[in-house]
């Protein structure tokens, strides 16, 4: 529209040029009268003749020019129509209702190939609605499919007000997309393979057959990836590096990384089955970034207990496998190394802040107390950050308030943020998830972070820790801290109350030594017993109020069995101080029912639905809870749901169970 007005203005200016000399002649005649009357008359006559001539020229030229312009416009329009009709790009006009008003030959030919008399945009592209079409401003591009071909469809508005018409152009990008997909599928991804329990498996077989076991494992792995034309190199006796095309990674994902199960079948008399951990890096800008993603994926696989594959991309993580329990390492070499590293880290610092997860439980408190004792022994100021005290831990907390313990042993988040400086260390215990720590603000502000945890790592684990010690086979954080205490210094002397807290943490997390226990669990308990633990005194602390006992009994009584093997129930919360703990205890009790593979108890508290999931050995409830945004152990996990009712939460749990059964992840 602006261009049309500009053209009209220029044309009018051009056509008016004869009027300019006419006006000048008249002005010249007027000036001549001032000098001489006779000359003025002569000039006036001449000016009149010239003005008449200019006006005649203006009138006749205007008509001729307009005729020429109109003729040129008509010819140009005809040429444009012919060019539009002959244009190779399919081109059409579409009205507000999606009806095709006009189409060029290329569009007609394209629609003819479809063997249908298509007259509406919605018939051409069902995925494009008229409502979407009306949202278009000046112009908009869409990537759509038709007849097995891919098109970039551009819509451009024309006209004004409600009579607007769309010009539609179709650009075939099938070949471009095919080439792009081919480049993507041929791109290399990096991978790392670890044999989780190589040393233990070798020790479980006769010495003369160990080389044969190693050869069979190598052969199984090499032959598996040779079928995908992958590059595989053995770095160490229990480590491999692989590079393969992305299209073969998709095959691995479709097969759920069945190499994990195939390697377990290798048996020449070894009592312990060999398990693999696989880390794959995909989607990096270059191959070096893919290799770094593979390393991070391996860290996550090992942090989740091994026997699984992790595919890490810059914006997502996928897990496969993880069906086996974490194997306990009988050697304490790692614990000793981590203890020495922890001591070196805090020796150069002045103050320690210790915090766990929100709503601190007994295990979290026991681990925090153990770290506090280490710091005090090394002459460091230390504080435990606690905001919300759960009723279940209050009896234990009272033993550390007053008397021989300093008043600033437990501090608030605000106080911790005021005291935090460059010479401080933040120790996070019993969690590696930054979303559920006691103080996310303190975690973000701290420069030096240490993580001590026994839960499997997830995609949201703390990444910037100076020292991270995550052992999924450990029964509890208190067990891990009890081992660290023994190695960090001979001067660390645990007092009775501290030993009680750590022992209580082990008892609670193992459900009275029934779950996730190993040799080292009992060794840690024996160490604490030697430091003055009174089993009877600890047991008395766990006695329940009658209201709590009734609520737990009601949850067990109202349980229903879903899909033959999954006990589900709801725990009442009204009138209870710690309903989430009661729900977790009810979930433990439901495992004692014959035929139950996993139990799930829902508890509504403080505007959230807390989900407690437990199993013995047949179901990985950690994977189940991760699908709900939670996590935990293979046999003990949980999640928190916001903005849903208890009934809606139960339906979501059922959907997860159905999905996992459908995919063969559980039975």
Q: What is the pLDDT of residues 80-116, one digit of tens each?
A: 566 666 677 888 888 777 787 778 888 887 777 766 6
| 1 has a pLDDT exceeding 60 | no
Task: Count the domains in the chain.
Answer: 5
The more confident residue out of 514 and 220 is 220
The verdict on residue 667 lying in a domain is no
CA–CA separation, 462 and 472 (whole Å) = 15
Say if residue 280's pLDDT is above 90: yes
Confidence bin at 162 (pLDDT 50/70/90): very low
Interval 576-614: pLDDT, tens: 888 888 998 899 999 999 999 999 999 998 889 999 999
* Nearest one of 636, 552, 634, 564 to 597, comparing CA atoms: 564
Tell me the CATH number at 594. Answer: 3.10.310.30
Overall average pLDDT of the 626-645 stretch? 86
617 within 8 A of 325, measured Cβ to Cβ: yes
Query: Cα separation of 489 and 522, whole Å?
Result: 21
Which pLDDT band holds residue 75 (cuts at 50, 70, 90)? low
Task: Report pLDDT for 63.
Answer: 57
Stronger pLDDT, 460 or 224, i.e. the higher one:
224
Q: What is the pLDDT of residue 184?
A: 79
Q: What does the alpha-carbon distance between residue 247 and residue 262 come to, in Å, rounded to a whole number? A: 21
pLDDT, tens only, 351-399: 999 999 988 889 999 999 999 999 999 999 999 999 877 777 888 888 8
- Nearest 5°: the CA angle 631, 598, 320 is 50
The pLDDT of residue 90 is: 85
As beta bridge partners, residue 242 has 191, 232
Same domain, 451 and 373: yes
pLDDT, average across residues 254-278: 87
* Same domain (yes/no): 135, 243: no
Q: Which residue has the higher pLDDT, 135 or 309?
A: 309
Residues 480 and 360 placed together within one structural domain of the fold: yes
User: Is residue 141 in a domain?
Assistant: yes
Which token pair is 417?
């943020």
The answer to whether residue 326 scores a pLDDT higher than 80 is: no
In terms of domains, do 52 and 97 share one? no
Does 354 lie in the same domain as 233? no
Reply yes or no on whether the pLDDT at 645 is more than 50. Answer: yes
Residue where a domain terminates, one of 513, 541, 569:
541
Range of the domain at 167: 91-180
Same domain, 595 and 636: yes
CA distance 274 to 202: 9
Domain boundary pick from 321, 342, 370 = 321
pLDDT per residue as tens digits for the range 231-250: 999 999 999 999 999 888 98
From residue 30, alpha-carbon distances to 25, 35, 36, 45, 501 in Å are 9, 10, 11, 11, 117
Q: Which of 502, 526, 529, 321 is nearest to 429 (CA)?
A: 502
Indicate if 394 and 348 belong to the same structural domain.
yes
**Cβ pair 604, 577 in contact under 8 A:** no
Task: Of 121-135, 175-189, 543-557, give the lowest mean pLDDT range.
Answer: 121-135
pLDDT band at 331 (very low <50, low <70, confident <90, very high): low
Residue 456 lies in a domain: yes
Greatest mean pLDDT among 40-44, 137-141, 472-476 lies in 472-476
Q: Are residues 510 and 392 in the same domain?
A: yes
Q: What's the confidence (pLDDT) of residue 161?
A: 46
Among residues 149, 180, 211, the one where a domain terminates is 180
- Residue 435's CATH number: 3.90.1640.10
Same domain, 337 and 416: yes
pLDDT of residue 626: 85
């Amino acid at each position: 529209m602006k261009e049309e007005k500009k053209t009209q203005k220029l044309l009018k200016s051009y056509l008016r040029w004869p009027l300019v000399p006419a006006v000048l002649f008249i002005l010249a005649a007027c000036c001549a009268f001032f000098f001489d009357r006779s000359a003025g008359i002569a000039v006036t006559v001449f000016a009149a003749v010239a003005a008449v001539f200019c006006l005649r020229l203006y009138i006749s030229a205007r008509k001729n020019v307009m005729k020429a312009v109109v003729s040129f416009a008509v010819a140009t329009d005809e040429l444009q129509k012919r060019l539009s009709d002959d244009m190779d790009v399919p081109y059409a006009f579409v009205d507000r209702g999606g009806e095709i008003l006009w189409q060029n030959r290329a569009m007609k030919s394209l629609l003819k190939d479809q063997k249908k008399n298509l007259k509406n945009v919605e018939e051409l592209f069902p995925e494009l609605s008229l409502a979407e079409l009306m949202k278009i401003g000046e112009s908009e591009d869409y990537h759509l499919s038709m007849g097995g071909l891919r098109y970039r469809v551009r819509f451009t508005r024309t006209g004004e007000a409600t009579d607007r018409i769309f010009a539609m152009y179709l650009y075939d990008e099938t070949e471009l997309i095919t080439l792009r997909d081919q480049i993507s599928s041929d791109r290399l991804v990096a991978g790392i393979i670890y044999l989780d329990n190589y040393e233990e498996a070798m020790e479980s077989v006769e010495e003369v057959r160990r080389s044969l076991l190693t050869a069979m494992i190598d052969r199984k792995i090499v032959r598996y990836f040779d079928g995908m034309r992958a590059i595989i190199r053995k770095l160490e006796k229990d480590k491999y590096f692989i590079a393969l095309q992305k299209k073969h990674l998709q095959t691995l994902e479709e097969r759920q990384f069945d190499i994990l199960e195939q390697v377990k079948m290798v048996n020449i008399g070894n009592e312990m089955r060999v398990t693999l951990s696989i880390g794959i890096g995909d989607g990096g800008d270059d191959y070096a970034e893919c290799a770094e993603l593979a390393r991070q994926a391996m860290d996550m696989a090992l942090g989740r207990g091994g026997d699984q594959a992790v595919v890490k991309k810059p914006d997502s993580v996928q897990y496969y496998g993880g069906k086996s329990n974490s194997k306990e390492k009988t050697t304490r070499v790692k614990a000793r190394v981590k203890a020495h590293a922890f001591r070196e880290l805090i020796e150069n610092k002045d103050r320690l802040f210790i915090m766990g997860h929100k709503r601190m439980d007994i295990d979290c408190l026991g681990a925090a107390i153990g770290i506090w004792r280490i710091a005090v022994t090394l002459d460091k100021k230390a504080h435990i950050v606690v905001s919300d005290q759960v009723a279940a831990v209050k009896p234990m907390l009272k033993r550390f308030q007053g008397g021989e313990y300093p008043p600033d042993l437990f501090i608030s988040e605000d106080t911790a943020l005021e005291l935090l400086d460059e010479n401080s260390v933040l120790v996070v215990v019993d969690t590696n998830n930054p979303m559920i720590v006691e103080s996310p603000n303190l975690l973000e502000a701290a420069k030096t972070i240490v993580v001590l945890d026994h839960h499997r790592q997830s995609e949201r684990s703390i990444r910037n820790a100076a020292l991270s010690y995550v052992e999924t086979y450990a029964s509890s954080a208190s067990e891990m801290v009890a081992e660290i205490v023994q190695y960090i210094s001979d001067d660390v002397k645990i007092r009775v109350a501290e030993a009680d807290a750590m022992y209580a943490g082990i008892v609670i997390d193992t459900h009275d030594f029934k779950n996730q226990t190993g040799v080292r669990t009992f060794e840690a308990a024996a160490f604490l017993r030697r430091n003055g633990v009174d089993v009877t005194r600890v047991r008395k602390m766990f006695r329940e109020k009658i209201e709590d006992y009734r609520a737990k009994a009601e949850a067990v009584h109202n349980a229903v069995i879903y899909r033959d093997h999954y006990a589900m129930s709801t725990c009442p919360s009204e009138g209870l101080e710690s309903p989430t703990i009661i729900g977790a205890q009810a979930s433990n009790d439901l495992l004692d029912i014959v035929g139950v593979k996993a139990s799930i108890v829902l508890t509504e508290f403080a505007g959230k639905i807390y989900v407690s999931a437990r199993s013995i050995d047949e179901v990985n409830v950690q994977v189940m809870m991760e699908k709900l945004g939670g996590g935990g152990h293979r046999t003990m996990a949980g999640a928190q749901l916001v903005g849903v009712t208890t009934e809606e939460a139960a339906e979501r749990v059922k959907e997860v169970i159905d999905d996992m059964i459908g995919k063969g992840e559980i039975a």
